Amino acid sequence: MSLPSTTSPQARFKGLWLPLVTPFLPGDETAVDHEALRALVQHYNATGIAGYVACGSTAEAAALSEAEHDAALSTILSAAQGMPVVMGVSDCHLGHALARVQTLNALPLAGILVPAPHYIRPSQAGLLQWFTTIAERSAHPVIIYDIPYRTGVVLELATLRALAAHERIVAIKDCGGDAAKTQALIADGQLQVLAGEDAQIFSTLALGGAGAIAASAHAHTRHFVELMQCLERGDLPAARALWQPLQPHIAACFAEPNPAPIKALLAQQGRMRATLRAPMQPASAALAQRLAGIQLPQLPSADGVAERRSA
């Protein structure tokens, strides 16, 4: 039996969503640094982002236990002070995924972010069953996470169009790498399309996409926010002027496996330690230096005075 829909025509996943990293304490047995996580969220609350994604791939969620997921989510919800939070739900066992969804139903989430089951590589019919069954059990809107290089399976356009008919499947984080499919989904208007590849933010939004879930926006956050606002109002010259200087930063953030470069940059800013959970390794010293050296043009503040640095 399906649950009543919590989705409405006003429910939108627009703008910039930040897929939060997970800070760890130092030591052989790393533990989540909740103090740093709380401070990180409180910092981003004032940057103009639309909301947060908790326990996604940037959070090293696959290396966290369910108890750690719960604790991190609790910290984020508390620190977000009412800002929307989407929770990642990733599994390859449908029963486990449904049990997780049932637990999350009681929490004040904006939605859940759900990829295809990893390793299984089901058929398109199996993918329809996977996402539909989860959506039927969820009290929250569902964002499809289309990321074939992690799951090993491609969500075909026909499958996504069929899933878009479900009242609780409302958006897609698009890491599919298929420009024609992206354009078709935007033209359909049935799913809100969020750029999941940071290098595709400009093109996705210029085509009419709703926003982005962007790991590189942990730094220069206000530049990303202003970029999206320019694109939304159709000011392409201003958007280009913001976008071009962001290219070296985005490229550096993914020059080594995510989220090591982002954690290195945040550590340089004093916001957290650069610790990662094995087998992830810290960013190289050369890349950390490269990231630290990237400077962006100043943005005007609300009173017209240029800000010295971007969040």
- The whole-angstrom separation of Cα 2 and Cα 135 is 8
In a domain, residue 110? The reply is yes
- Average the pLDDT over 191-210 and give the result: 97
- The answer to whether the annotation marks 58 as part of a ligand binding site is yes
CATH of the domain at 120: 3.20.20.70
Point out the catalytic residue in the list 44, 52, 119, 173.
Answer: 173
- The answer to whether the annotation marks 213 as part of a ligand binding site is yes
Neighbours of 72 (CB within 10 A): 22
C-beta separation of 142 from 131 below 8 A: yes
In a domain, residue 284? The reply is no
In a domain, residue 10? The reply is no
- The whole-angstrom separation of Cα 144 and Cα 16 is 17
The pTM for the full model equals 0.93
In a domain, residue 295? The reply is no
Point out the catalytic residue in the list 44, 52, 145, 181.
Answer: 145
- The whole-angstrom separation of Cα 154 and Cα 176 is 7
Q: Which of 290, 300, 210, 204 is nearest to 250 (CA)?
A: 290
Domain span at residue 74? 15-233
Number of domains in the chain: 1
Is residue 52 part of the annotated active site? The answer reads no
**What would the pLDDT profile of 18-71 be if each residue is shown by its tens digit?**
999 999 998 766 799 999 999 999 999 999 999 999 999 999 999 999 999 999
Is residue 14 part of the annotated active site? The answer reads no
